[in-house]
Amino acid sequence: MPCPCGSGHTLADCCEPFLAGTTVPPTAEALMRSRYTAFTQGAVEYLRSTWHASTRPAEIVLDPAPTWMGLKILSTKAGGADDSEGWVEFVARYKIGRRPLRLHERSRFLREDGVWRYVDGVLDPLR
């Protein structure tokens, strides 16, 4: 089964180990991809565990309406294995009913104790 994150790898060889908790994403981009996959799989606990404590909502409730159609990474800044902060700009395509929609965000990530966390993002960022 291809990974929903669009990496070109299988789910088992890509995001599944992250969602299962057997390993952690080594980069901010890998975390972004795994969080997208978590949304497609309804993995609320993974989303909670990868959200920075300073911005994590008290409750995460996923809307069952979207059908996720694909993820495209537009750019990354920092966010590597030796960085403490990183940004990933992406477009996530989805549909509700027959209506196609897109989420364009520039997300910010922090790495604490070797673990990347999603902090926040700017919707529809200007390039």
Residue-range domains of the chain with CATH: 16-123 (3.10.450.50)
How high is the pLDDT of residue 127?
A: 58
Residue 22 phi/psi, 5° resolution?
-85, -15
- Report how far residue 66's alpha carbon sits from residue 96's, in angstroms, rounded to the nearest whole number: 5
How high is the pLDDT of residue 104?
A: 97
Residues 6+ apart with CB under 8 A from 45: none
Q: Residue 37 is encoded by which pair of tokens?
A: 């996959």
- Report how far residue 112's alpha carbon sits from residue 4's, in angstroms, rounded to the nearest whole number: 26
3-state secondary structure of 48: helix
Mean pLDDT of the chain, nearest integer: 96
Q: Evaluate if residue 126 carries a pLDDT over 80.
A: no
Q: What is the pTM of this model?
A: 0.96
User: Which tens digits make up the pLDDT trace of 43-55?
Assistant: 999 999 999 999 9
Q: Residue 63 is encoded by which pair of tokens?
A: 């809307």
User: Which tens digits make up the pLDDT trace of 75-119?
Assistant: 999 999 999 999 999 999 999 999 999 999 999 999 999 999 999
Identify the CA nearest to 72 among candidates 27, 15, 14, 33.
33
Half-sphere exposure of 4 (CA within 13 A, CB side): 18
pLDDT-derived band at 125 (thresholds 50, 70, 90) equals confident
